Each structure stands twice: as structure tokens, then as C-alpha cells.
Amino acid sequence: MLQPAGGKDALYVDIGTYGVPRVQNFHPVDTTRRVEQFVRDKKGFQMLYADSYMTREEFRAMFDHSLYDKLREKYRDTTTAFPQVYDKICRKARI
């Protein structure tokens, strides 16, 4: 699922923020969505251990699903045995 644009090697930096801000008027979902948009605009990737509020379409735009979709089609039992990656990592899909 993770392939650098153009198929060439690329260097990525993993930057994380941790904890819950204790300031008034902090909106974690809105803030996270803005960060996700910034990362997509820069052709980056969000690490899948982080909370994600992307839509399914935004998630598919961030990650190349061509091989993933091909394998799920080839091994049809996986479609009923296992949820899609989006359904496992996206907070909105799990609620």
C-alpha cells in the first residue's frame, strides 16, 4: 500500500503529537482533518497507528490500493473473513 510517487525511493519523516491539549476550544477532529489534508497535499502518508478521520475516498487517495484490491479480488474469502484496512484504522468507521 505504501509506494512513493513515481516508484522511486523516497525519504519520509515520521512526526507525531501525543496527548490531549488542555486548552479551551481545541477541536481534535477538525485539527486532525486539517493535518490529514496537509499530508495528502504533500503526497505523504499518515501512519496507521494514529487516529484517522479521513473518509474512505480520502484514505484511498492517500494510499495506493491497486495491489491490495487485486489480492482481495483474487482471494475472495478475504472479503468476508477480514475487514478492509480502512475499517480497521479509521476512527469514524469503527464507531
Q: What is the pLDDT of residues 32-78, one digit of tens each?
A: 899 999 999 988 888 888 888 999 999 999 988 888 999 999 998 88
* Residue 77 forms part of a structural domain: yes
Q: In this predicted structure, what is the pLDDT of residue 6? A: 65
* Residue 42 forms part of a structural domain: no
In terms of residue numbers, what domain contains 91? 63-95
Residues 43, 24: Cα–Cα separation, whole Å: 32
Q: In this predicted structure, what is the pLDDT of residue 12? A: 77
Could you write out the three-class secondary structure of 46-67? CCCCCCCCCCHHHHHHHCCCHH
* Residue 17 forms part of a structural domain: no
* Residue 78 forms part of a structural domain: yes
* Residue 81 forms part of a structural domain: yes
Q: Which of 4, 11, 92 is nearest to 52 (CA)?
A: 92
% pLDDT > 70, the chain: 87
Q: How many domains does the chain contain in total?
A: 1
* Residue 74 forms part of a structural domain: yes
* Residue 86 forms part of a structural domain: yes
Predicted TM-score (pTM) of this structure: 0.77
% pLDDT > 90, the chain: 25
